[in-house]
Amino acid sequence: MPSPRALTDHLDALLEIDDFRDYGPNGLQVPANADVQTVVTGVSAHVDLFSAAAQEGADLIVVHHGLFWRGQPLEVTAPMYRRLRLLFDHDMALAAYHLPLDAHPRHGNNALLAEGLGGLRPRPFAASEGRDIGVRVEFDGDGLGLAELTDRVRDLVGGREPLVVDGGPERIRSLGIVSGGGTDYVHEAVALGLDAFLTGEPAERAFGIARDEGIHFLAAGHHATETFGVRRLGDLLADEFGVRHVFVDVPNPI
């Protein structure tokens, strides 16, 4: 069976992590000794996920939000100790992919959201640290009504009701997508003349921006919009290396 390093080297190359300036390290964050038979994927690195991964017999955990972020305390805090202790006690490696996983044109969160919503002709959108991380798409014909787009978003994220600010045109023919906490990219969507913008976690200012600028704003949950990429990575590793993949969705209303 492959080592954690072999799997993460494969993902590092696939996602071109060296091309991104990110808020934390991408790739292998915590090593382990065992070869990998089971990969667990999840959105965020915390105790609930690690406990569930241990129950699944995980050898490698792959997440979108890792352990280490710019500006966090430099010492090992009590919560960090609990997280690391679970990884060490169960000999589980941890890898994280943040902006590279948002941005990937085939396997990223935004590309998969666009595909799931039926968007056509995807193009890069929303520059972060020098790289576009979002996707903008079109809807042919008469486009979609806001109710239909809302229904598609709700179904795609597993039934969660999105927050919707009705500020745009009657028919939606263009949509910008930035998963997670992407509220302020709505300004780029406005500048491009897009009819609607979808993100995960809203900020209060989004209401006024949407109504004043004439664009629909939808927020479907930070966590809910970022389950897609890590799940895809686990499936790719299962296909490429013959490992077992389990996606663990720890419920998160944010």
- Ligand-binding site membership of 16 (annotated): no
Task: Tell me, yes or no, whether 30 and 79 share the same domain.
Answer: yes
Look over the chain and give the mean of its residue pLDDT values, rounded to a whole number: 97
Task: Tell me, yes or no, whether 206 and 233 share the same domain.
Answer: no
Task: Tell me, yes or no, whether 39 and 9 share the same domain.
Answer: yes
Q: How many domains does the chain have?
A: 2
Task: Tell me, yes or no, whether 90 and 115 share the same domain.
Answer: no
Percent of the chain with pLDDT over 90: 97
- Ligand-binding site membership of 151 (annotated): no
Task: Tell me, yes or no, whether 35 and 86 share the same domain.
Answer: yes
Residue 254 lies inside a defined structural domain of this protein: no
Q: Contact 187/164 with Cβ under 8 angstroms?
A: no
Residue 10: other Cβ atoms inside 10 A? 16
Residue 116 lies inside a defined structural domain of this protein: yes
Q: Can you read off the two tokens belonging to residue 95?
A: 């890898």
Cα gap 239→230, rounded to integer Å: 14
Structural domain span for residue 40: 4-97+226-247
Residue 202 lies inside a defined structural domain of this protein: yes
Give 138-197 pLDDT, tens digit per residue: 999 999 999 999 999 999 999 999 999 999 999 999 999 999 999 999 999 999 999 999
Residue 185 lies inside a defined structural domain of this protein: yes
Give backbone dihedrals phi and psi of 52, rounded to 5 degrees, phi first.
-65, -40
Residue 252 lies inside a defined structural domain of this protein: no
Give the CATH number, domain containing residue 209: 3.40.1390.30
Task: Tell me, yes or no, whether 92 and 182 share the same domain.
Answer: no
Give 81-132 pLDDT, tens digit per residue: 999 999 999 999 999 999 999 999 999 999 999 999 999 999 999 998 889 9
Reported pTM: 0.96
Task: Tell me, yes or no, whether 220 and 185 share the same domain.
Answer: yes
- Ligand-binding site membership of 98 (annotated): no
Q: What pLDDT, on a 0 to 100 scale, did the predictor assign at position 119?
A: 98
Task: Tell me, yes or no, whether 114 and 210 share the same domain.
Answer: yes
Give 15-65 pLDDT, tens digit per residue: 999 999 999 999 999 999 989 999 999 999 999 999 999 999 999 999 999
- Ligand-binding site membership of 222 (annotated): yes
- Ligand-binding site membership of 245 (annotated): no
Task: Tell me, yes or no, whether 64 and 125 share the same domain.
Answer: no
Task: From 202, 139, 143, select the one nearest 169 (Cα to Cα).
Answer: 143
Task: Tell me, yes or no, whether 87 and 10 share the same domain.
Answer: yes
Task: Tell me, yes or no, whether 113 and 215 share the same domain.
Answer: yes
Strand blocks (E) in the chain = 27-30, 38-44, 60-65, 93-96, 120-128, 131-138, 163-165, 174-177, 196-199, 216-219, 244-247
Residue with structure tokens 């589980």? 92
What are the DSSP calls for 222-253, one per residue? TTGGGSHHHHHHHHHHHHHH--EEEE------
Cα–chain center distance at 223: 8
Residue 172 lies inside a defined structural domain of this protein: yes
